[in-house]
């Protein structure tokens, strides 16, 4: 029993060292949710120089992080775009973007072949417009920007022991 206890203690201390890492995080205002980014995750943000950067986080340091082999200081970030919205909004966008792109040319071509007057009927314009609107709204919700400020600071959290 004593050997098992020593082994369990040694294993627990060793395993926490394996999972020790730094996290890039910010809190959502008015919510209990914290948005976290780890090494190897995709991030999209805008700097104070109004440059939009997209890429995979290579490393997280104490006051900076590396994306696309370039180092960015935490205090130079002004907007972080939410890239962790889950599958729902992206799925809706991908489902409705194909009909939005393909519906209008298809009914126009069909109206020309059949020599319809008018070529595009008004209710079909409503259908095509609704496909486009749903795709654009779900895209906007999936890529919502979060402004970094004193109330919502971007910070590095070190969870090593």
* pLDDT score recorded for residue 48: 93
Both 45 and 32 in one domain: the answer is yes
Number of structural domains in the chain: 2
Both 24 and 77 in one domain: the answer is yes
Both 73 and 24 in one domain: the answer is yes
Residue range(s) defining the domain that contains residue 100 = 87-141
Both 29 and 69 in one domain: the answer is yes
Both 116 and 76 in one domain: the answer is no
Nearest to 38 by CA among 73, 70, 65: 65
* pLDDT score recorded for residue 96: 79
Both 103 and 125 in one domain: the answer is yes
pLDDT tens string, the chain, 161 residues long: the values are 666 565 555 555 554 444 457 888 887 766 667 888 888 888 899 999 999 999 999 999 989 999 999 999 999 999 998 766 666 777 777 777 777 778 778 888 888 888 888 877 788 888 888 888 888 888 787 778 888 888 888 888 888 75
Nearest to 146 by CA among 47, 45, 67, 49: 45
pTM reported for the whole predicted model: 0.62
The structure tokens 């627990």 sit at: 12
Both 70 and 126 in one domain: the answer is no
Q: Which two tokens stand for residue 124?
A: 């079909």
């Amino acid at each position: 029993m004593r050997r098992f206890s020593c082994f369990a203690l040694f294993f627990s201390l060793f395993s926490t060292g394996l999972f020790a890492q730094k996290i890039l995080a910010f809190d959502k205002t008015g919510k209990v949710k914290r948005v976290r980014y780890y090494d190897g995750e995709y991030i999209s943000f805008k700097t104070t120089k109004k440059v939009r950067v997209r890429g995979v986080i290579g490393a997280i340091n104490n006051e900076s992080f590396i994306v696309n082999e370039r180092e960015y200081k935490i205090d130079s970030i002004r907007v972080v775009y939410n890239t962790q919205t889950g599958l729902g909004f992206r799925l809706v966008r991908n489902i409705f973007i194909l009909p939005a792109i393909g519906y209008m040319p298809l009914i126009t071509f069909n109206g020309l072949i059949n020599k319809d007057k008018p070529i595009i009927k008004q209710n079909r314009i409503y259908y095509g417009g609704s496909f486009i609107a749903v795709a654009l709204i779900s895209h906007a919700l999936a890529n919502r920007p979060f402004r970094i400020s004193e109330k919502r600071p971007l910070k590095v959290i070190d969870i090593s022991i």
